[in-house]
């Protein structure tokens, strides 16, 4: 189970040894893109397994090879909304444990001068607001992009939103708590701070660049 944080009521931190072991590998600058992508997918799947405990279910009947028995299905649809492009490296890991989920996409980049979010793309399932929405952003740094994305989802009627990120900085968690106190933030680590360029310290570098081998 994730632990809460005394300063941030909206934050849940996963201390599971498997998650922390894989996070250590992701932080290592010598980890190559292929292994980095695989590690992010594995972490995302493990975190989703825990974050989905609160999902509503419904009773169903299933026919086994022997007889009919009771089972459960999802009570509401689940939509994954990765913020492009780095979140592509986490979406497959989530879908591996939740293949029933639909996937929307939101394109946002951070202006390197102003550090403000700039939106350039959005496409979602039409009934997204009827169920759970998992917003995916591997690095919660200033919180600008994640907060903007949550606002877009709310403008489309979504009320059940959670944010899954790999690592976060206090500034980003605080931004989300101020702008969207109803959105729970799930993370593998609350890191120390941001540097003067808005990167998380100690962090793991630029997730997008490390996933795709770019600079």
Q: What is the pLDDT of residues 4-23, one digit of tens each?
A: 888 999 999 999 999 999 99
Give the CA distances from residue 170 to residues 4, 15, 175, in Å, rounded to whole numbers and listed in that order: 14, 17, 9
Positive or negative: CA dihedral 68, 69, 70, 73 = negative
Annotated catalytic, 38? no
Reported as type and span, the H/E element at residue 92 is helix 88-97
Out of 30, 64, 68, 114, which one is annotated catalytic? 114
Reported as type and span, the H/E element at residue 189 is strand 184-190
Tokens describing residue 90: 């986490």
3-class secondary-structure state, position 122? strand
pLDDT (0 to 100) of residue 203: 95
Out of 110, 156, 174, 179, which one is annotated catalytic? 110
127: domain CATH number is 3.40.50.2020
| pTM > 0.85 | yes
pLDDT (0 to 100) of residue 53: 87
Is pLDDT of 176 > 90?
Answer: yes
Q: Calculate mean pLDDT across residues 174-181.
A: 97
Q: What is the pLDDT of residues 184-202, one digit of tens each?
A: 999 999 999 999 988 999 9
Enumerate residues 6+ apart whose C-beta is below 8 A from 164: 44, 47, 48, 51, 90, 94, 134, 135, 136, 137, 186, 187
Positive or negative: CA dihedral 151, 78, 2, 182 = positive
The domain of 20 spans 3-212
Average pLDDT, the chain: 91
pLDDT-based confidence at residue 3 (cuts at 50, 70, 90): confident
Q: What is the pLDDT of residues 99-148, one digit of tens each?
A: 999 999 998 877 778 767 788 899 999 999 999 999 999 999 999 989 99
Is pLDDT of 89 > 90?
Answer: no
Give the chain's radius of gyration (CA, Å). 17
Report percent pLDDT > 70 for the chain: 98
Question: Peptide bond preceding 85: is omega within 30 degrees of 0, i.e. cis?
Answer: yes
The rounded distance, in Å, linking the Cα atoms of 104 and 127 is: 11
Annotated catalytic, 114? yes
pLDDT-based confidence at residue 2 (cuts at 50, 70, 90): confident
Report percent pLDDT > 90 for the chain: 71
Q: Provide the domain count of the chain.
A: 1
Annotated catalytic, 160? no
Q: Residue 214: exposed, middle, or buried by beta-carbon count in 10 A (0-12, 13-18, 19+)? A: exposed
pLDDT (0 to 100) of residue 16: 93
Out of 38, 130, 156, 206, which one is annotated catalytic? 206
Q: What is the pLDDT of residues 51-86, one digit of tens each?
A: 898 899 999 999 999 999 999 999 999 999 998 876
């Amino acid at each position: 189970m994730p632990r809460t944080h005394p300063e941030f009521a909206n934050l849940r931190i996963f201390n599971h040894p498997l998650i922390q072991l894989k996070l250590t590998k992701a932080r290592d600058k010598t980890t190559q893109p292929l292994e980095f992508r695989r590690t992010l997918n594995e972490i995302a799947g493990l975190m989703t397994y825990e974050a989905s405990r609160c999902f509503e279910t419904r009773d169903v009947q299933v026919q086994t090879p022997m007889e009919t028995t009771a089972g459960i299905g999802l009570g509401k649809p689940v939509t994954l909304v990765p913020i492009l492009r780095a979140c592509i490296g986490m979406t497959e890991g989530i879908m591996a444990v939740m293949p029933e989920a639909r996937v929307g996409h939101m394109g946002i980049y951070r202006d390197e001068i102003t550090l403000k979010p700039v939106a350039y793309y959005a496409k979602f399932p039409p009934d997204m607001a009827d169920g759970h929405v998992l917003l995916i952003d591997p690095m919660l740094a200033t919180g600008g992009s994640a907060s903007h994305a949550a606002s877009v989802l709310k403008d489309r009627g979504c009320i059940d939103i959670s944010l899954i990120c790999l690592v976060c900085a206090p500034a980003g968690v605080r931004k989300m708590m101020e702008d969207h106190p109803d959105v729970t933030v799930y993370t593998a680590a609350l890191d120390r701070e941001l540097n003067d360029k808005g990167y998380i310290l100690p962090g793991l570098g630029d997730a997008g660049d490390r996933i795709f081998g770019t600079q």
